Amino acid sequence: MKETWRLIDMRIEDAPTQMAIDEAIAMARLKENIPNTVRLYRWNPSAVSIGYFQSIEKEVNLPACEKYGVDVIRRITGGGAVYHDYNGEITYSLVAPEADPKMPDDILESYELICGAIVNGLAGLGVDAEFKPVNDIVAGGKKISGNAQTRRHGVILQHGTILVDSDIRRMFQVLRVSDAKISDKLIQAVEDRVTNLRRYLDRQVDFDEARSALIKGFEDVFDVALEPGELTGAETRLVKQLHEKYSSREWVFQR
């Protein structure tokens, strides 16, 4: 009988809640009798997440975030600054023990495997994507997904974005990507390096379609059945605690 993992499907929450849920699941993984978990989610309100090591001042245009009602949060994972557009992006996360026989010991190999699930899912939509080490997925040579992993408490947490349709203009407003004024030339430069499902497939892609494809990708690559489930009572309590941390100035502005 095929192994079953838990799917927590398309929760739409604010930034602190989403980061709290990811970390809560990772913290609880070895303490309770719960299977590995795949989550798909969207950020409402739209948000900027920065990597654990990034300088918030250097990366984020805080007045613009305030002006446009965009949340700002620091992840527990490294990597770069990401604009999570509620209307343009799906985020996934996967939690599994380091000791899980399906999980490589080597971090780079595990990035490749987990990103492989996304690549597989995107293929189902007709997107010819590939893993680009260390942590990117590209389609037609342009980045369509960025990923970040942490390993703590003997557990792997990897999360990443899949760009469905991007508001590049808004991204430039909220991230400090360039000192140059936002111009069509600057936007073109980004569009040369970054793509999304709508642009690649040259058609509207709704979230439900993308979601189904990604679920299938995880099931195929890991040879598991994803069964819809909810957070446990213990995880929910952890989410409450962690929400405080992620909302705190102390956490977000630590560097």
Partner 1 sequence: MAAELGVEEGRLVGVKITGDFFMHPEAAIIDLEKALCDTSVEDLDYVVNRFFQDNDVTLFGVEAEDFVKVVRLALEP
Residues 6+ apart with CB under 8 A from 254: 74
Q: How many residues bind partner 1 (CB under 8 A)?
A: 22
Segment interacting with partner 1 (CB under 8 A) among 48-56, 118-126, 223-231, 236-244: 48-56
Of positions 12, 31, 58, 128, contacts partner 1 by CB under 8 A: 58
65: which DSSP letter? H
Q: Applying CB under 8 A, does 152 fall inside the site for partner 1?
A: yes
Q: Is 134 in the site for partner 1 (CB under 8 A)?
A: yes
Q: How far is the CB of 47 from partner 1 (least distance, A)?
A: 17
Taking CB under 8 A as the binding criterion, the range among 73-81, 86-94, 188-196, 241-249 that sits at the site for partner 1 is: 73-81
User: Least distance to partner 1 from the beta carbon of 245, Å?
Assistant: 14
Out of 18, 49, 110, 149, point to the residue binding partner 1 (CB under 8 A).
Answer: 149
Q: Reduce the DSSP state of residue 27 to 3 states and report it.
A: helix
47 and 72 Cβ atoms separated by less than 8 Å: yes
Residue 147: phi and psi, rounded to 5, are -135, 155
Contact status: 114 vs partner 1 (CB under 8 A): no
Residue 122: alpha-carbon gap to chain centroid: 15
Cα separation, 124 vs 27, in Å, equals: 32
Nearer to partner 1 by Cβ, of 240 and 255: the residue is 255
Looking at the Cβ atoms of 102 and 151, the one nearer to partner 1 is 151
Q: Which is nearer to partner 1, 54 or 196 (CB)?
A: 54
Structure tokens at 168: 């590049």
Angle between helices 15-28 and 233-247 (to 10 degrees): 130
The answer to whether the bond into 133 is cis (omega within 30° of 0) is no
Which amino acid, 133?
P
Residue numbers at the binding site for partner 1 (CB under 8 A): 51-55, 58, 76-81, 107-108, 134-135, 148-152, 255
